[in-house]
A and B are shown apart, each in its own frame.
Chain A
Amino acid sequence: MPNKMQIATNPSRPLSPYGDREGDGMVQFSFTLQVPPSARAREAAKQLAEMHGLREPIVATMEECAQGYSYFVVYGHSQFTIDVAQIEVPEVRTEALSREEIEHRIVARLGRKIVVVGACTGSDAHTVGIDAVLNYKGYAGDKGLESYKGFEAYNLGAQVENDQLAERARALKADAILVSQVITQRNCHKENAGAFIDLAKKQGWREGVVLLLGGPRIDHKLALELGFDAGFGPGTKPSDVASFLVEKICG
């Protein structure tokens, strides 16, 4: 399992947002109210900011962004502090392995390729994430799993139904399955990803396969809650996923 890392090295210390000096609590805040610009609208924005805990808010701009709607930018001082040492967040282990190390461990410890199958499931047609992780090209100069000798990567593309993904993954004897969910309205990404786990359990193969979830609204905590082994959010590089899989499958 991924390490539950605690930032134990940080001493307990309450923090507030940092503007240009410690403790000023400076926050920028922008929003729209359904009211045309006026002196009252400006005061309303100021009071709304105060209700959010901002002291001495300054309404930096008020502009009519649509007929009868005002857009505001407000600066103010937060009244709250947060102690980072008290916070516990499960994180995917952060130690990134080098390409050589990844290839070496697969050969030395597993002796065959790791089979990875990925897809954007449900009605989701946005393959940017799964393409970046699986396809040779990769993302931001970090080549995808297809570029590794030790991985056999299958990208099933978009709009793959959960049962199709399960069927293909089992036929290919997948060691790991990557589920990507990009379009995320009204939590449909959670429902769909959760349904995949249920399917895996029902069909009785959940334990034999590493299941990963990725997407812009996904984090590791959410993925664990849904029953996945790990979750990868925005900015994930293919080598992060590769390192995780090697750790998990090859040790």
Chain B
Amino acid sequence: MDERKVAECRTLASDIADDVQRYIDRHTTVGAERTFLRAYGVDGVDDQGAPLVNLAVDRYHQAGLLGRGMTLFLGRALLDGASTIQDAAERLAYGHEIDPGEGGPSIEEIRGALARHTQAAIERIDRARKEREDLKTRVVPGASPLRYVIVATGNIYDDAVQAKAAAYAGADIVAVIRATAQSLLDYVPHGATTEGYGGTFATQENFRIIRRATDEATHEYGRYIHQTNYSSGLCMAEIAWMGAVERLDMLLNDAMYGILFRDINMCRNFVDQYISRRFIARAGITINTGEDNYLTTADAVEKAHTVLTSQFINEAFAKRAGVADEQMGLGHAYEIDPWLEDSFLLEIAQAQLIRQIFPRHPIKWMPPTKHKVGDIFFAHVHDAMFNLVGVTTHQSIELLGMFSEAIHTPLLMDRYLSLKATRYVFGAARHLGDEIEFKPDGIVAKRARQVLDEAHELLLEVKRDSIWDAIGTGAFADVKRTRTGGKGYRGVVERSPDYFNPVLDELEGKSTR
């Protein structure tokens, strides 16, 4: 592998991310501000189901005051006599008058009034992290590749049953698929939910229910069972915080996915991904990025380099949010047409290349979906080949393929058969990767070089055009987006010079305390 070229790619990705980071550091969003209120412990919904954090933030956004930071107004409400954080937030949402933020206490007085609460907000996250780390030393996780499965019943109580069943059958990681289109809701639903199309709503209470089930499974089966959900969409930052305090282990979180695949506005998404990742970094959660999706819309052979390019960019953005390499589950997938000659070799080349470029990262390997068909017997063989590449190239996290992928959400027995086949392949080929090396001028090595070269070229182009314009011309996944188009742009606000946010200061390690 051309180490110098890899280093150049990282430098280019850093420059690309720096350009955006300058924008991020000057802006906030309604989603980010709601997250900080939640971090202080603001909770609850009104009789229409609207979260208190939305009511408070929307009110100050409409008044044109959000650029100063909601925490400023929260602190002022405390100094004005609010008895608790919750009381202060209710005053912001429902009080007779909007606080124009003029006069009264100094910034230092406000910071002082909040100090105890700021500390509690950070400690709550740290406590959850410590709890995870302690439990993992007592009950260690399975061998990698960790086996990742999905439950998607729509009813959180059924999900809990299925999560335990999956762990019993050998899964290490359970993800609860989110209800279709939750990513486009600009609020997080509240409480336990039992109805959802395509999946189950991500709510704080639902996270707790699955945590209980996976913890039970951890103790019963003697293997740490991880819980995963989605920190994506318009509420990616709020969900990241919920994941942090409810001790989720992994979150799907990508710097660009929402822009490309959910048509979320780029400005909004870039700011939100940064705030979400600040919480994720502190919480020790592993992110799963979504590059696998590129190959479901674009061709997996022609566009393989876009996956690598995006991984470099995702890594650069994550670094800027304080996320450690060991937390970066960069994603990719086995999506090449299975009938293409030597497709297996091309898959090995890509998987091995990514493994070597990102050696400390818990790489996430996704199964075939695009070329899955109703012939479940063939699909089962297809998945076996995917498993073989996964174990041979030492992927860290493997989402298991389901032979019924093209038909329905997995049945209990589908998941069992997938886990059984995986157990066979992972066991039978456990050390295959350590036994083989690739011919320097062979098909695999040549392909890997080609993908790296193309990624390098694309990074050069993206840097030249800036990522804003590169996305506009369809550099990723053949999807084109504009800077002010897409959903959620109205929720982006420029920070005023006196923007006040002690929790963010703590997360960024520049606290003045």
Contacts and interface: CB of A to CB of B under 8 A. Distances in A.
B198 A66 contact: no
B198 A183 contact: yes
B263 interface: yes
A159 B234 CA distance: 15
Interface stretch (B22-30, B31-39, B79-87, B411-419): B411-419
Contacts of A69: 165, 412
16 contacts: A65-B169, A65-B417, A66-B166, A71-B417, A123-B181, A123-B198, A125-B180, A127-B297, A137-B478, A140-B337, A185-B154, A185-B197, A188-B197, A216-B407, A234-B373, A234-B374
A63, A124, A159, A234: residue with the most chain B Cβ atoms closer than 10 Å = A159
Nearest to A69: B412
Nearest to B261: A125
A128 B373 CA distance: 13
A67 B168 contact: yes
Contacts, number: 68
Report whether over half of chain B's contact residues are helix, strand or loop; otherwise say mixed.
loop
Nearest to B409: A185
Contact of A128 (B197, B296, B299, B337): B296
Contacts of B165: 65-67, 69
A124 B296 contact: no
B406 interface: yes
Contact of B413 (A30, A128, A137, A234): A30
B190 interface: no
A16 interface: no
A243 B224 CA distance: 55
Interface residues of A, number: 28
Task: Please list the 5 inter-chain residue pairs (A to B) with the smallest Cβ-Cβ separation, ordered nearest first.
Answer: A66-B165, A65-B416, A123-B181, A71-B413, A123-B180
Contact-size category for B: 20 to 34
A219 to B, nearest CB: 13
Nearest to A67: B168
A42 to B, nearest CB: 16
Contacts of B411: 32
Contacts of A65: 165, 169, 412-413, 416-417
A66 B181 contact: no
B478 A135 contact: yes
A32 B261 CA distance: 36
A234 B406 contact: yes
B337 to A, nearest CB: 8
A185 B370 CA distance: 20
A66 B416 contact: yes
Nearest to B337: A140
A98 B452 CA distance: 39
B412 A185 contact: no
Interface in B28-85: none
Contacts of A71: 412-413, 416-417
Contact of B370 (A31, A63, A128, A159): A128
Given A157-B263, A159-B263, A66 B180 contact: no
Given A69-B412, A159-B184, A186 B373 contact: no
A240 interface: no
Interface string B257-274: 000011100000000000
Interface in B454-480: 478-479
A32 B184 CA distance: 36
